[in-house]
Amino acid sequence: MAEVRLMKGNEVIAEAAIRCGCDGYFGYPITPQSEVMETLMIRKPWEETGMVVLQAESEVASINMVYGGASCGKKVMTSSSSPGVSLMQEGITYLAGAEIPALVVNVVRGGPGLGTIQPAQSDYYQTCKGGGHGDYRLIVLAPASVQEMNDFVDLSFELAFKYRNPAMILSDGVIGQMMEKVTLSPYKARWTDEEIEEISGSWATTGKKANRSKNVSTSLELDSDKQEEFNLHLGRKYKAMEENEVRYEKISCDDAEYMFVAYGSSARICQKAIEICRERGIKAGLLRPITLYPFPTKQIKEMVPQLKGVLSVELSMGQMVDDVRLAVNGAIPVEHYGHVGGIIHSPEEIADALETLIIKA
Amino acid sequence: MAEVRLMKGNEVIAEAAIRCGCDGYFGYPITPQSEVMETLMIRKPWEETGMVVLQAESEVASINMVYGGASCGKKVMTSSSSPGVSLMQEGITYLAGAEIPALVVNVVRGGPGLGTIQPAQSDYYQTCKGGGHGDYRLIVLAPASVQEMNDFVDLSFELAFKYRNPAMILSDGVIGQMMEKVTLSPYKARWTDEEIEEISGSWATTGKKANRSKNVSTSLELDSDKQEEFNLHLGRKYKAMEENEVRYEKISCDDAEYMFVAYGSSARICQKAIEICRERGIKAGLLRPITLYPFPTKQIKEMVPQLKGVLSVELSMGQMVDDVRLAVNGAIPVEHYGHVGGIIHSPEEIADALETLIIKA
Amino acid sequence: MTEEIIIAGFGGQGVLSMGKILAYSGIMQDKEVAWMPSYGPEMRGGTANVTVIISDERISSPILQKFDTAIVLNQQSLDKFEEQIKVGGTLVYDPNGITKEPTRKDINIYKIEGNALATELGNAKTFNMIILGAFMKVKPILSLEDVEKGLGKSLPERHHKLIPMNMKAVQCGMDNIKVVQEL
Amino acid sequence: MTEEIIIAGFGGQGVLSMGKILAYSGIMQDKEVAWMPSYGPEMRGGTANVTVIISDERISSPILQKFDTAIVLNQQSLDKFEEQIKVGGTLVYDPNGITKEPTRKDINIYKIEGNALATELGNAKTFNMIILGAFMKVKPILSLEDVEKGLGKSLPERHHKLIPMNMKAVQCGMDNIKVVQEL
Amino acid sequence: MTEELKDIQKEENIVYKKSSLLTDNVMHYCPGCTHGVVHKLVAEVIEEMGIQGDTIGVSPVGCSVLAYNYIDIDWQEAAHGRAPALATAVSRLHPEKYVFTYQGDGDLASIGCAEIMHACNRGENIVVIFINNAIYGMTGGQMAPTTMIGQVTATTPYGRDVKLNGYNMKITELIAQLPGTCYVTRESAHTPASVRKTKKAIRKAFENAGQNKGTSFVEVVGTCSSGWKLTPEKANEWMVDNSFKEYPLGTMKDE
Amino acid sequence: MTEELKDIQKEENIVYKKSSLLTDNVMHYCPGCTHGVVHKLVAEVIEEMGIQGDTIGVSPVGCSVLAYNYIDIDWQEAAHGRAPALATAVSRLHPEKYVFTYQGDGDLASIGCAEIMHACNRGENIVVIFINNAIYGMTGGQMAPTTMIGQVTATTPYGRDVKLNGYNMKITELIAQLPGTCYVTRESAHTPASVRKTKKAIRKAFENAGQNKGTSFVEVVGTCSSGWKLTPEKANEWMVDNSFKEYPLGTMKDE
Amino acid sequence: MAKVRGSIVVDVEKCKGCELCAVACPKDVIQLAHEVNGKGYHYASMAKPEDCIGCASCALVCPDSCITVYRAKA
Amino acid sequence: MAKVRGSIVVDVEKCKGCELCAVACPKDVIQLAHEVNGKGYHYASMAKPEDCIGCASCALVCPDSCITVYRAKA
Ligand SMILES: Cc1ncc(C[n+]2csc(CCOP(=O)(O)OP(=O)(O)O)c2C)c(N)n1
Ligand SMILES: Cc1ncc(C[n+]2csc(CCOP(=O)(O)OP(=O)(O)O)c2C)c(N)n1
Ligand code: SF4
Ligand code: SF4
Ligand code: SF4
Ligand code: SF4
Ligand code: SF4
Ligand code: SF4
Ligand SMILES: [Mg+2]
Ligand SMILES: [Mg+2]
């Protein structure tokens, strides 16, 4: 029977990891997500499922531990918050370059620099455009509730392994710190060595068996022709993701003349803003990207004919709005509205912004 | 009298640093830019101008040395190549968050991951959209010749100090490794302590004088209202840059019906592609962004009425093309063409791409 | 039904766990709940507050600017949250350490001497349950039974023996709340 | 005038510095020049090549797919660059270590026994200057005077005493180049 | 106040008061935190040496990240672990200045391990004040490299276990062996006598910097009552009983 | 070939041949490079122990980044300096496997200083092969932490100078003191005898891993003739005269 | 009166009631007040002012530098 | 004939002519050939095959594992 609990988003990440058969977690404390590792340490999954949990010496070490563990075909993850994730950029691009499936959770706080420990969504660029160097993409899931913090752990691993690509859960301090009702997932067994051999035997470094040639986890290619072919291969993979893995939610969109685009905690606030708008006689709706990469470009585009304008609402100075604009491609006005620095917009402010930035502009 | 030399792009960075009165260089070896530090070490500027040159233990250390030195109001820089720059992302966002003027040179190679040491332009996203977390921007200059490698060192410092913002020279393996004729700049004296006090006394940590309150170099703000105000302040600063600091070059644009947008080494190749196009009877031109941030959005927009299409040519899978599309905003077709992985496009390929992707499409 | 509550006081007063028990009690009644703490670098001594929302519907924003009820346990919190109570809303406060009494005329105001009562009960740790009881009295959105169940859920097994003592404190709070102003 | 040259051989054969002297000589004539090496992780033994462009006009791309002249000093380089010579272009090669002779019919081909001649001159280090001389003979785009000046610029002061020896090697290359095929 | 008290509490009778370099800001530290004591000592040393205008402090992330609010000198706030890199640059660009880092044990021994080892090995002319409270205070009491075997923290809720979490790291012992350090000592600040001794050590470290002697490293073994979940008094007792065994006080190097 | 030679060169007379674990790829190393010798020894040990299927190698950036092309086992290529972090995870997730890192001195002692110190301090059950050629070979011969005072490199063109570049770092001595290490030794591979000895050390390290003893650390002092700008023979001589003084051979710990 | 040779003044609003001064005092002069300050802390105060010898032990260990110490000449 | 007790075979195309085998050989058996291989290296060869004792010193130190060593029973 499904278990219902009252839990913090961060705690749920830990619980979901254990239950989905995650093999290893490597992390380093940072507010507002330290509860992920703390919960794991209290839960002692090594006694229950055999999952390894290790506090690393730094975020640089933890992402590289993830690279090492995940290169063995294991389900391995880390979590951190913005400054820690910045430190992981080299490791993340290595994961992408070696095509290693793994999960990174970013519970975003405000920046730049040390900034504030309060919630923000100002790491969209870093996450979706490539914080590291080179041409690569992460699979990015943006939970808007504690329940989704639960659900997306398993989903992230599934997508990561499907595409041999690192995945990121892009959360924020609100979703990480809040408690909500959550229905926990049933336990899944960790993969056995045989299952790993079956699923990832062509690439995972599990020790060279006599029946196969050696596996090497690497992102190095000194031959430019081969490197280009590899980059093009990645490009095709990303294309496939764009075609098959876009996830989003539409709220009150059927008759909408104006549409908010917002993810995560901002999307929740927009839901309330819609009510306010509709009380004011404005037909507003919300398209909530659940996957930030692949981005619901097509879905936004499809809405355009019925719309008079779009407002991208983010806890940032305007980052996702680029992708919204690229989707709309000049057909109707697109504007950005958002608070930053740990301040959370109120539903009223959002409704007002729609009026001033779009309707009356 | 101006000195003409035959030098590598990387060597010129070192020479220009010494001559522009740079106070300190902190770096770590990585191909294809190690000649920057090697040239400095041979030149021994500490005996000549007093400039400090130090090989750090890592890129993480070097960018933080830059933070320390630059926080004193000194002209301080580092250089690296893609993987090293990924490691610097935390440090870079700290510089932006503490409003510290400094210079980072990235001689880009192909990624993701370890990738190839051959030239690429696949760090545009990382550089221009914020590789680190939080809402911030770098001033980004993209040299297309060894001469510009010389000129942009001084210019970067000038802009960095004008806006109290880190600047980046986004070069690549071609420009870094090639030798060309270069006219070296005349020597500028390093700033004296008094000059630093005058220029940056309001913020530089030079030791608290009795006549002022203490200076603190920090990016931390625990009060969300203040952090938001700070983020908005940064936003206004970036707006000012966008208004005042856009630099670009137009080649054969007067009568152009088709336009390439390309920077750095790609721009040079596009020049030759223009000749080929014109031989084929196609009126092609080139807009070369010199500042990648602020991006010549307005200048591209202004060209739109006379154009039938735009081709963004990059040594990447398509990154700058986003900004070109945002500028054009759907008015005419915009496509991307590029090689990756260390392969360099030929002028013929570019001319062909214009025909197939834009003209005949 | 939607009840939006802020509980605010010093760190160490049990503000967060009071909110948690409230939220758990809501779950016992099959309601939607959200519990959103303020968090900061101060580990002790600083102010702590938590927003609790209990509702029959899906909860949109867990971050609120206006509250149906504010439960405040020190002067700073009173200064900050008195003005954030909706017109017609409710303020419950412990007068201990309060130097400037609340001034709004358009809300219901109640007093509960939590500190003093906890000392009387001989257990400072029951302070927050006394406050909870007081709230329950003026906002009977949850049954005592649910609170008892909520306590069971939020306390670790080994502390379940403390439930009766806690329920006694809740009752004490219900019994001792004083009306300052009722609309 | 634009001359696009690739020089290719083993690391250690002085390929890069030959290119540098060429480029410097170009500067002496007030021409535009570009010198673009291949670079890789092998420090010794691997192949090394450099593109040198000398032109009266601003040079656009320093990376070329076709060359006016290829100077190749080992088999791998011949295999790779023979086909990249423009129709009507020029190939200069040292037959030492060459196992498969060039086959193209639409280019000019010259041979220079650089290795053997350097041994004769009693200084293996003059090898690349002999090759340079050979090139100068078939493509007299630069004067001997400019090459001497170029040498002066590219060698550090303390090595200037070696210039006469190097110029002798250049002359030796000019004298000993052999036509294999001329269009 | 009684007459007697008034008589004593006169300006001229003051024998101890807050350093004038300490600002009036109330420190955000928890009650009894070692950081407060050491801040005071640093302020007093700088004041007494008269080098307020010549001193630049570097405080990285950790509970002491806001040190700049409390001591009235120029400060740089460093990324977690990187203070020695900042200080290296400041000191090399300003060889005549007094440059110090003020680092926690998580900061210095964990994420910043490479930076401190290399700064000390290069012999940067800086002072390092190292507050070893055997825990990550700032983030809520997680295990640090210095956390002792068996010690309970938020990430070792059943006590640090060598198998799971490895050994505690004695970084100061390692640093004492690096040729770039001239003075390495381990002190505490829990009694009046140890506070006096620690102040002397800090003073010596700053004086070394004035004489360009290389890196001076002063560890202060301290408490984190919040992280340890003890009262300040009990925390001090626990420290004496446990920390001092693993981290014995004393000067390891003085050249 | 003479008859005599033919007579000797028969299959049954073979006393030494290339390990079957070495692939046929020509190594990209420069003539005389120490990496080649040590690759051979690692391959031989794995072959002789019969653990090809149970061994996972981790090679970070450095000249040996392509080690995976030469030894026929599963490999992970690590980011510069981070091999110990990768190996930590592999070993913890596969406690029954033999996990080793193969690191250069720039990699291990400079950028990767924190990772190696912490892996060794935690006592990860791994083998570390550490090639100390006192230089950054891969990137063209720049100074490493191990570069000796006076040594000329691309970034110390006038010789390493303590004032400018700091002291050379003796990281193995530090590592020997970390409680997580069970075996720490410094070897060389320039003579037949030293090659034999190094092989024994590597074998012991792998056997330790099989017995779950913690971290075994084998340093091999080597040469980089390209970086040093010497012939391989002269490089060996220079090493004996200079490196061995700063990095004396011998076992520091064997528990 | 000759007995009172020392005295302290506590900055009550800064005091966090950690009690370390009380522990350090050789004369048991200090106790926490029953009252709390604006931050909710019971602050340090002289319970036995007459015993104070002005030795400054309390002030030395006070993490919040709240204590000023006075000592009369005799 | 009894004199020839050992012999080596060098993988000529793999040899890089580092000469370390020659240095290691106790019998001075090895010298570099005048010819170069496909990579341009003068490769190792037995200059005095008759002196080889099959001790494998050369093979042990060879970085490129080019040397196979043979030893006849007697
Ligand atoms: C890159 C990065 N990772 C993690 C953090 C979170 N963080 C802040 S302080 C700290 C540890 C503090 O411990 P310590 O250095 O011992 O100082 P203390 O608070 O105990 O004085 C951590 C992990 C951060 N700010 N930045
Ligand atoms: C993050 C990063 N920084 C720098 C480099 C460039 N780099 C590659 S290997 C290397 C040093 C190699 O030296 P060492 O570890 O001593 O190995 P060796 O080549 O000498 O065997 C450097 C600096 C890199 N690849 N990645
Ligand atoms: S958490 Fe610990 S270290 Fe931080 S202020 Fe509180 S007692 Fe001090
Ligand atoms: S550069 Fe040095 S370490 Fe690298 S392969 Fe050559 S000799 Fe070996
Ligand atoms: S030591 Fe200071 S802060 Fe602590 S109780 Fe005494 S006066 Fe107050
Ligand atoms: S000055 Fe000495 S005697 Fe007086 S209260 Fe302080 S510690 Fe006690
Ligand atoms: S040691 Fe090996 S590579 Fe070197 S010369 Fe001898 S056979 Fe050739
Ligand atoms: S086997 Fe011994 S004797 Fe024979 S060539 Fe080799 S080293 Fe010389
Ligand atoms: Mg600490
Ligand atoms: Mg090395």
Query: What residue's CA is closest to ligand 3, atom 6?
Result: E30
- Interface chains of chain B (3 or more CB pairs under 8 Å): A, D, E, F
pLDDT tens digits, residue range A152-180?
999 999 999 999 999 999 999 999 999 99
**Inter-chain residue contact B67 with E115, CB threshold 8 Å:** no
- Interface chains of chain G (3 or more CB pairs under 8 Å): C, E
**Inter-chain residue contact C45 with E63, CB threshold 8 Å:** no
Q: How far is A50 from chain F (nearest CA, A)?
A: 9
Query: What residue's CA is closest to ligand 8, atom 7?
Result: H25
Chain F touches chain B, with at least 3 Cβ pairs below 8 Å, answer: yes
- Structural domain including F152 reads 30-254
Q: How far is D122 from chain B (nearest CA, A)?
A: 31
* pLDDT at residue B360, as a whole number: 95
A167 close to ligand 1 (CB < 6 Angstrom): no
Q: Which run of H or of E encompasses F121?
A: helix F113-122
G12 close to ligand 5 (CB < 6 Angstrom): no
CATH (domain of E189): 3.40.50.970
- Which residues approach ligand 3 with their CB closer than 6 A? C 43; E 29-30, 33, 35, 63, 133, 137-138, 224-227
Interface of F with H in 183-242 (CB under 8 A): 189-192, 195-196, 225, 231-233, 236
CATH (domain of G37): 3.30.70.20
H22 close to ligand 8 (CB < 6 Angstrom): no
Cα(C34)–Cα(A145) distance, integer angstroms: 10
Asked, for residue E4, whether it belongs to a domain, the answer is: no
Residue H1 has pLDDT above 50, yes or no: no
Question: Based on the structure, what is the number of domains in chain H?
Answer: 1
Asked, for residue F35, whether it belongs to a domain, the answer is: yes
Asked if A118 and A341 count as a contact pair (C-beta separation under 8 A), the reply is yes
* pLDDT at residue G1, as a whole number: 46
Average pLDDT, chain E: 97
Q: Where in chain B is the domain with CATH 3.40.50.920?
A: 249-359
Residues of B whose CB is below 8 A from A349: none
* pLDDT at residue H74, as a whole number: 59
Q: Pick the residue from chain E with its C-alpha nearest to A117.
A: E139
Q: Pick the residue from chain D with its C-alpha nearest to H39.
A: D45
Chain C touches chain D, with at least 3 Cβ pairs below 8 Å, answer: no
Which residues fall within 8 angstroms of residue A239, CB to CB, at 6 or more apart? none
Asked if D117 and D176 count as a contact pair (C-beta separation under 8 A), the reply is yes
* pLDDT at residue C63, as a whole number: 86
| pLDDT tens sequence for chain B (361 residues) | 578 899 999 999 999 999 999 999 999 999 999 999 999 999 999 999 999 999 999 999 999 999 999 999 999 999 999 999 999 999 999 999 999 999 999 999 999 999 999 999 999 999 999 899 999 999 999 999 999 999 999 999 999 999 999 999 999 999 999 999 999 999 999 999 999 999 999 999 999 999 999 999 999 999 999 999 999 999 999 999 999 999 999 999 999 999 999 999 999 999 999 999 999 999 999 999 999 999 999 999 999 999 999 999 999 999 999 999 999 999 999 999 999 999 999 999 999 999 999 999 8
CATH code for A249-359? 3.40.50.920
Q: Is F1 helix (H, G, I), strand (E, B) or coil?
A: coil
Asked, for residue E191, whether it belongs to a domain, the answer is: yes
Closest atom, ligand 8, to C-alpha of H56 = 1
pLDDT tens digits, residue range F48-58?
999 999 999 99
**Inter-chain residue contact A178 with C24, CB threshold 8 Å:** no
For residue E41, the one-letter residue type is L
DSSP state of C167: H
**Inter-chain residue contact C43 with E141, CB threshold 8 Å:** yes
Calculate Rg over the CA atoms of chain G: 12
State the CB neighbour count (10 A cutoff) for residue B192.
9
**Inter-chain residue contact E90 with B210, CB threshold 8 Å:** no
State the CB neighbour count (10 A cutoff) for residue A66.
32
F136 close to ligand 4 (CB < 6 Angstrom): no
* pLDDT at residue G2, as a whole number: 52
pLDDT tens digits, residue range D15-27?
999 999 999 999 9
pLDDT tens digits, residue range D147-169?
999 898 888 888 899 999 999 99
**Inter-chain residue contact C75 with G38, CB threshold 8 Å:** yes
In this prediction the ipTM stands at 0.97
Structure tokens at F113: 């200083």
Best mutation site among F28, F33, F153 for ligand 4 pocket (most ligand atoms within 8 Å of CB): F33
- Structural domain including H57 reads 4-73
Q: Which residue has the higher pLDDT, F129 or H74?
A: F129
Q: Where in chain B is the domain with CATH 3.40.50.970?
A: 3-184
A87 close to ligand 1 (CB < 6 Angstrom): yes
Query: What residue's CA is closest to ligand 4, atom 5?
Result: F29
Q: Within an 8 Å CB–CB cutoff, is residue D156 touching chain F?
A: no
pLDDT tens digits, residue range D48-63?
899 999 999 989 888 8
Q: How far is F53 from chain A (nearest CA, A)?
A: 4
**Inter-chain residue contact B58 with F81, CB threshold 8 Å:** yes
* pLDDT at residue D68, as a whole number: 97
> What phi, psi does A141 have (nearest 5°)?
-110, 135
Cα-based distances in Å from B203 to B139, B158, C76, H30: 20, 17, 33, 70
Q: Which residues of chain E have pLDDT under 70?
A: 1
Residues of B whose CB is below 8 A from E65: 220
**Ligand having the closest approach to the CA of E228:** 3
Sketch the domain layout of chain D as residue ranges.
2-181
pLDDT tens digits, residue range C132-183?
999 999 999 989 999 999 898 888 888 899 999 999 999 999 999 999 999 8
G8 close to ligand 5 (CB < 6 Angstrom): no
Task: Name beta bridge partners: B206.
Answer: none
Residue A193 CA to ligand 7 centre (angstroms) = 42
What are the DSSP E strand ranges found in chain A? 3-8, 24-27, 52-55, 76-80, 102-108, 139-141, 166-172, 179-184, 216-217, 248-251, 258-261, 284-289, 291-293, 309-313, 334-337
| Domain C2-181 grouped into CATH 3.40.190.10 | no
* pLDDT at residue B3, as a whole number: 82
H66 close to ligand 7 (CB < 6 Angstrom): yes
Averaged pLDDT for residues F117-146: 98
* pLDDT at residue G74, as a whole number: 59
Q: Which residues of chain D have pLDDT under 50?
A: 43
**Ligand having the closest approach to the CA of E224:** 3
Q: Within an 8 Å CB–CB cutoff, is residue D40 touching chain F?
A: no
* pLDDT at residue F2, as a whole number: 74
Q: Within an 8 Å CB–CB cutoff, is residue A37 touching chain E?
A: yes
DSSP state of E66: G
Q: Within an 8 Å CB–CB cutoff, is residue D41 touching chain F?
A: yes
Asked, for residue F10, whether it belongs to a domain, the answer is: no
F131 close to ligand 2 (CB < 6 Angstrom): yes
pTM (two decimals): 0.98
**Inter-chain residue contact A83 with B133, CB threshold 8 Å:** yes
Residues of A whose CB is below 8 A from E158: 44
Buried b (16+ CB within 10 A) or exposed e, F183-215: bbbbbbbbbbebbebbbebbbbbbbbbeeebbb
**From the list A112, A120, A227, which residue is nearest B116 (CB)?**
A227
**Inter-chain residue contact H18 with F2, CB threshold 8 Å:** no
H27 close to ligand 8 (CB < 6 Angstrom): yes
Q: Within an 8 Å CB–CB cutoff, is residue B112 touching chain A?
A: yes
| pLDDT tens sequence for chain G (74 residues) | 456 689 999 999 999 999 999 999 999 999 999 988 888 899 999 999 999 999 999 999 999 999 999 999 75
Averaged pLDDT for residues C114-124: 91
**Ligand having the closest approach to the CA of H6:** 8
Residue C42 has pLDDT above 70, yes or no: no
CATH code for A3-184? 3.40.50.970
Alpha-carbon E238 to chain mean position: 19
**Inter-chain residue contact C61 with A31, CB threshold 8 Å:** no
Task: Name beta bridge partners: H6.
Answer: H71
**Inter-chain residue contact C45 with G41, CB threshold 8 Å:** yes
* pLDDT at residue E134, as a whole number: 98
* pLDDT at residue D124, as a whole number: 87
Which residues fall within 8 angstroms of residue C119, CB to CB, at 6 or more apart? none
Cβ–Cβ pairs < 8 A, chains A and E: 53
Q: Pick the residue from chain B with its C-alpha nearest to E118.
A: B57
**Inter-chain residue contact D33 with B180, CB threshold 8 Å:** yes
Residue F64 CA to ligand 10 centre (angstroms) = 9
Residue H43 CA to ligand 7 centre (angstroms) = 7
Query: What residue's CA is closest to ligand 5, atom 2?
Result: G62
Chain E touches chain C, with at least 3 Cβ pairs below 8 Å, answer: yes
